[in-house]
Structure 1
């Protein structure tokens, strides 16, 4: 193969990679991480074989395109949360912000629910928000604003319920209210 043809192939490969990256980002953000891979390939104008050749698996594709987006959105939430004055306000901002992200961003919701545990880079990004949530519960316990009966696991159960319900078109309409009541009842009674 001559040098000009070699450069052309590499350029085409780079272009296909960029098209796949852009298409995967668009489709995953719109439909979630379980969006059909053939839809991503079609949107990129390449074959499904090219997608698998370039990325190997769904999880590798997810790790190539989603962690940066998820990381920036979760970092923005962390900045908002930490700007609040009290542990209670921070925990409430975290819960409401996470629920909003899960409702509005199918890909991030799938990540938070850990639907693709082999997408290691994405799980690492999400682990930071889990660590933050645990820390916020401990802070609210320490200042006495959060009932000792409310645990870190309770927090993640609430977020799991919100994430699952937000993806299910047949979820009962009252799921928002159940989460609101659970959070309202989590606060310590001031005497």
Structure 2
């Protein structure tokens, strides 16, 4: 939610402090981090946070899409630099799981935990479209079993996202996802 330029200087400063605090805390703890903690870290009241951003989703849309978009664009560039459809799909899965593991806020975005954060949803939709295209390309070249669908891909990524959020997830969850993907190929590596 862009702020009008006519805000008083102290109000602009509060918005900047809230954005910085939200960025730090969301990236460290995920998108369900305490809004009270964000306001406290910014040195403002919770009322100021709500007055300036309206809702949690408004705050998410104000701070996360740029960072998420940048990270997902970097992943897309890495993926598309691969030589074969199989290598591209494998790089996409590995890259998405790495992002989910390293970045709680991006993991929450990929899991669509806040569907009313419209700007964030639009950015994640681009990665969904890329994943669908990668599955289609691997089907087209015959390297991926026709039984493996883009829904299967997103189920694997969703399972990885949930496991990344869960501190008591079984330690072998990544191996299970790797085995599921490995079984989807029509030819061994």
Q: Deviations over 1:71-112 (max 9, x none)?
A: 000000000000000000000000000000001100000000
* Partners of 2:172 and 2:55 in 1: CA distance: 37
Q: Partner residue of 1:172?
A: 170
Q: Partner residue of 1:151?
A: 149
Q: Partner residue of 1:90?
A: 88
Q: CA deviation at 1:170?
A: 1.0
Q: CA deviation at 1:172?
A: 0.8
Larger radius of gyration: 1
Q: Partner residue of 2:130?
A: 132
Which stretches of structure 1, 4 residues or more, deviate above 2 A after TM superposition? none
* Partners of 1:45 and 1:80 in 2: CA distance: 39
Contiguous gaps of at least 5 residues in structure 2:
1-6
Q: Partner residue of 1:5?
A: none
Q: CA deviation at 1:189?
A: 3.2
**Secondary structure, aligned partner of 1:162:** helix
**Secondary structure, aligned partner of 1:185:** helix
Structure 1 segment 1-191 matched on structure 2, within 5 A:
10-189=8-187
Contiguous gaps of at least 5 residues in structure 1:
1-8
Q: Partner residue of 1:6?
A: none
CA RMSD of aligned residues (A): 1.4
**Secondary structure, aligned partner of 1:148:** coil
**Matched length:** 184
Name the TM-score, length of structure 2 as normaliser: 0.95
